[in-house]
Structures are given as structure tokens and as C-alpha cells.
Amino acid sequence: MAAPASTFLSYSAKGNREDLSDIIYNVDPTDTPFITGIDRVSATAVLHEWQTDSLAAASTGNAVLEGDDATTDSVTATTRLSNSCQIQDKVARVSRTQNSVLKAGRRNELAYQIVKKTKELRRDMETTALQNQAEATGDATTARTMGALLAWVNTNTSKSGTSAADGSLGNTKRTDGIKRAFTETLLKSVLRDCWDNGGDPDCIMVGSFNKNAMSSFTGGATKFKDVEDRTLVAAVDYYESDWGVLEVVPNRFMRSRDALILQKDMWAAAYLDPVQVTDLAKTGDSERRQIIVEWTLEARNEKSSGGVFDLTTS
């Protein structure tokens, strides 16, 4: 069957307007649970420093003679730690013509690109903070880099075999070992070590695969089926351990082979310069904006936290 003769069809028309939605859809994630969940402090120099301290071991022999002279106890100095501030940026450049023409989904192309690049920069910051990156002080030809979280976590770890070594003081990357399955036994071991060393972790941060693995852990909870709404609870959002209740937080930007056990108030993002938009010199028929930040990770006391490393990811 065909259209009646001489019927003018849309296939032949030349002036029909396009049907382009005025909404731009983007499902790329922008959540940054680590840098959003930790403290934010100011840095005042390229090398950001802080101090840690510890108490003397508890003694069973602290008994004093009646009337005896007081004996001075030994005193230990604080430990001074540091991390270098890292500069990160994104640059948006838009031609004068593109900024002037009528567009769908945004009025100002440069403003739209600035918002987009700012989100991308936040994702870079989250990824950097959670990577296996050692501090580098940099020079005229080498960019400074911060010691990321995996270069700090050293005391409370579970790792695979003798080939794996932990990072240290932000200066040394950890060495990855052979992957093994994430089990509740491994998790409990690190949680116990954190508690024995004075920590009070409140968060378990994992990638998608090991978030699924945690859903099979029993902990102190019981999964159940709600008869009224017919919902089967098969996820773990909070893990009740012998050492407290920890929130289970999935993170898209961490390494999927790690499970991080964090006391969040013992970590901070230290900003020498917060995220800002800077005009760049106009060199032609376009405009440029630099979205830039200078910051570092403050590991207030890594003994508060820990990690289960070398985990399978598929």
C-alpha cells in the first residue's frame, strides 16, 4: 500500500524544523564520598605539615613507695608529618562563534563547559586521593604529587603473600600482591587491629564487586523478607562488628582491588587554594577558563584506619 498520488510527504520537505530536546542527559557519576566525607582544612605552604603523638604503654608496675621522692618519667617528642600540595586543573576553551549561536540545552557554551570541567576535576581529586601514589616534591620539570591514601596506610593491613608491602608515611607506594577473595574473616582481622591500635573506624569503602561480596557477610545483622512490601533485603549498608557499627560506602573512583576501613575524622583535605575559575589570556577568536585547585591529603594518624588489599575484582 502506498500514499495517495501527489501527497506531499515529510521525506521531500526542505523546511521542517529539527526536534532536538532542550535537555542534555549525562549519567556519568559525580559523587565523591571520600573527599566529601572527610574534614576540610587550610594549608599555608606547598609542604603541608601536622603532628602526631602517642602515650606510653600502660604499665602493671606503677606502684610508688609511701613518702618516696617523685621520679620523673621519660618524655617523647611529637612526630612531625608532611605531604606536598598537588596542583590539578581542567581547561575549557570555546570559540566566540560557538558561544554566540543558538544552542539546545544550554544558553552559554562557556558556562556549560566550566560546570562540566569542574565536575570532572572533582572526580580527578577523588581518584587521586584513593590511589597508590607516593609523594613527590617536584621540580621545574616534574609536577608535585601528594602521597595518596594507599601510600599512608601501613599499620592495620591484610595483604596477599610476602610479595606485598605496605606504603609508608606517604613517601612509598604499596606493592600489590596476588589477588584473593574478600572474606569476612579478613575484614574482622583488620577491624580488630584498628581497635587494638587505638582506632575507631566508622566506614568501609569498597568498589562495586566487593560491595556485592560484603552482602554475603553476616556480621551482627540478619537479612529478612518484609512480607508487607515483599522486599528482600540483600544488601549491607551498615556492618555491625565487635568494634562498632560501620557504614558501607561504595566508591566508583577507588581501586576495586582494595577495601578501605576508615576513621574519617582522621583524614582531611588540606587546601592551599580551593577550586577556582581563572580567566586565561585571550590569544585569538576564543575564550579560555582554567578550573584549578592546589591541595593535599592530611593523614592525621594512619593507625586509626586500615585496609584489606589484593582482592579479586571479578
Inside any domain, residue 56:
no
Given strand 244-250, what is the order of strands in its sheet?
A: 157-158, 306-308, 259-262, 203-206, 244-250, 238-241
CATH number (domain holding residue 285): 3.90.1690
pLDDT above 60 (res 3):
yes
Inside any domain, residue 62:
no
Q: Which residue has the cell 590569544?
A: 283
CA distances from 120 to 65, 113, 149 (A): 67, 10, 20
Choice among 127-141, 213-227, 266-280 with the minimum mean pLDDT:
213-227
> If you average pLDDT over every residue of the chain, what do you get?
91
Say what the pLDDT of residue 28 is.
79
Inside any domain, residue 226:
yes
pLDDT, tens digit (0-9, with 9 covering 90-100), for 213-262: 998 887 655 555 555 655 555 577 899 999 999 999 999 999 999 999 99
Task: Report d(CA 307, CA 282) in Å as an integer.
Answer: 48
Choice among 18-32, 98-112, 156-170, 191-205 with the minimum mean pLDDT:
18-32
Say what the pLDDT of residue 21 is.
81
pLDDT above 60 (res 43):
yes
Say what the pLDDT of residue 25 is.
80
pTM for the predicted model, two decimal places: 0.89
Question: Quick one: average pLDDT of 282-290?
Answer: 95
Inside any domain, residue 71:
no
What residues make up the domain containing 187? 33-47+79-308
Task: Report d(CA 274, CA 282) in Å as an integer.
Answer: 24
Inside any domain, residue 137:
yes
Say what the pLDDT of residue 253 is.
96
Inside any domain, residue 28:
no
Number of domain units in the chain: 1
pLDDT above 90 (res 277):
yes
Inside any domain, residue 8:
no
